[in-house]
Amino acid sequence: MEISLIEQYDKSRYNLIKWLTVGWAAWFGTYILKDLINDKFLFVQILIGFVGLIGFIFFVINLQKYLRLASKIKYSRLNDALNNELHQIYKYKSFFFGFKVLLSTICVFFTISLFCQISAKFVCEITLYLGVLSSLIAGLVYNRD
């Protein structure tokens, strides 16, 4: 059974978003985790740094592939078929879900800050991490066939 070019590009876009999500989760998650681990555990710091480096490589490679695929699609006759109304709705819904998670995270940290002191850097990192990760995961859920 032959797969059309549109189905191939759509599956390729889904796989790239999937590996982009894995790369972001590993890279930025270990970036935040590395600040929380004590400096006494040198082996754990090195292991976390290595996992973060692998995640960063996954993230950069798949982001580059995704942008190349998006530009290839943009200038082809398949643009209307691949970027139809349903895909646009999925993009907006995933952005909206990420925005809701971002606002919820800020509200939680604001409430916690009423009772104890929290580092502003930590709050910004967690908020950014959860906002981007939730948008990517929502995009995967919505684009799944």
Number of H helices, E strands in the chain: 5, 0
> Nearest Cα to 140, choosing from 42, 49, 1, 13?
13
The b-or-e profile of 89-126 (16+ CB within 10 A means b, else e) is: ebbeebeebbeebbeebeeebeeeeeeeeeeeeebebb
What is the band of 143 on the pLDDT scale with cuts at 50, 70, 90? confident
Mean pLDDT of the chain: 87
**pLDDT tens digits, one per residue of 82-141:** 777 877 888 899 999 999 999 999 999 999 999 999 999 999 999 999 999 999 999 899
Which residues contact residue 27 at a Cβ distance below 8 angstroms, ignoring those fewer than 6 apart?
Answer: 52, 55, 56, 58, 59
Would you state the pLDDT for residue 145? 58
Do 98 and 138 touch, CB atoms closer than 8 A?
A: yes
Structure tokens at 76: 């082809």
**Tokens describing residue 74:** 């943009």
Strand positions, DSSP E, 1-145: none
- The more confident residue out of 126 and 8 is 126
Q: Please state, as a whole number, how many other Cβ atoms lie within 10 Å of the Cβ of residue 10.
A: 19
